[in-house]
Amino acid sequence: MGKIKWIEIGEGLACRTTSGDVGRLLKVIVTPRMGERRGEDTEVVSTVLVSAGPGECPFERRHQFTKDMAAENSFRVISYNILAELYADTDHARTYLFPTCPPYAVDMDYRKQLLIKEILGYNGDLICLQEVDEKVFHRDLIPALKSEGLEGFYAAKGGQVTEGAAVFFRQSKLRILETTRIVLSKELQSNILFAGIWERVQTNPDMAEKMSQRSTTLQVCVLESVENPLRVIVVGVTHLYFHPDADHIRLLQAGICIQILKQVMTLYQTKYPDKDVALIFCGDFNSTPEFEVYRLMTSQFVDFDDIDWSKKESEHVTGISLSHDLELESACGCPPYTNYTTGFYGCLDYIFYQTDKFTVKQVIPMPTHEEVTEHIALPSITFPSDHIPLIADLEFKVT
């Protein structure tokens, strides 16, 4: 075998290969530095050849609407469940959950390349992610997004799972004031705000046990506008319990979330009376618009006799009603679906915003049904997740 001839194709934290690189090896040379001190070069050669990508992906057609950054006094919000590796990288997932996706395209080493390319192409200012593998956050998302001026914070889900939520924000537009991770089951049992609800839940031991076992979290980030520091945004990100037979659990979790977020808003408004405090609440709510989670968010009230409370008789609890006084709407409306698999499709993801604080300036169109179903279901060789990200530009209202 002759000597390998190496061609330099770039430098920095990211390397963009071209079709001309297919079939070649890739060598990475790393030079450690600390101030003026320089260490010895270390190099690694890939064990596999550069392979061809999937061609143009539907998200690249969505990028046509996000070439420009959001305008002044506005910011672009993205909410995206990126499908954690621990839920995709199993025989069960490959055989039953995502049988139409080739094994190589389910692999996170393949999907994360598309995910980073997709996310960066949207030019988002506030990026709210769910099902983020902890190692993907630190090894891939942080380096890639930081190089584009985005800072990120991770909030692990409760329990033993190694995934959670992440919030990234563009530092030229937003500044972090506080970030908090809240495990909803612990909050329900310890926060005096929910003492009455927890008392009612405990009247049914099955319901109390089910709620106590849930690892659902709420990530709260408080951000202020760099352009106008008098504007403060309380950002909530969650991923509610997934089980199909758990509308009552999700409803209670959503009620806990909105009360915590309202409490944070009140604290900041009291501490800084000259500031204008607004809410953005994003995530995978695992609930379609016809159920009570959506109704609670948009109509402010769910009574104790609403049907979602009693759908599972063994866990039925009486006397719980939920309410809030925030004027919330879904920035992207209710698409036919945000999740599309062989076993289910429906609208599960939302960007809830305060209509008295923001105006929706642009909603990025969803992929066409033909694009989504080109390879039957999601994920696929061109869609790196089983969810489709929601993207909207919000403008601060003049107060």
Task: Catalogue the active-site residues.
Answer: 284
- Are the CB atoms for 351 and 80 separated by under 8 Å? no
Nearest to 308 by CA among 324, 326, 296: 296
Question: Tokens at residue 212, please?
Answer: 């106590």
Q: Which residues fall within 8 angstroms of residue 365, CB to CB, at 6 or more apart?
A: 62, 65
Q: How many CB atoms lie within 10 A of CB 145?
A: 22
- DSSP secondary-structure letter at 365? P
Tokens of 48: 């596999």
Give the pairing of strands 339-340 and 33-34: unpaired
Length of the chain, please?
399
Task: Supply the DSSP symbol for 358.
Answer: E
Q: Are 66 and 364 a contacting pair, CB within 8 Å?
A: yes
Query: Cα–Cα distance between 72 and 227 in angstroms, integer?
Result: 8
DSSP 3-state assignment of 21? helix
Written as one letter, the residue type at 329 is E
Q: Residue 269 contacts by C-beta under 8 Å, 6 or more apart in sequence?
A: 275, 277
- Whole-angstrom Cα distance, residue 111 to residue 101? 11
Q: What are phi and psi of 11, to 5 degrees?
A: -145, 160
Taking the C-alpha atoms of residue 195 and residue 41, their distance in angstroms, rounded to an integer, is 59
Q: What is the DSSP-derived secondary structure letter of residue 397? A: P
Quote the tokens at residue 112.
């994360």
The Cα 253–Cα 197 span in angstroms is 11
Q: Classify 135 as helix, strand or coil.
A: helix
DSSP labels, 69-117: PPPTTEEEEEEEE---HHHHSSHHIIIIISTTS-HHHHSHHHHHHHHHH
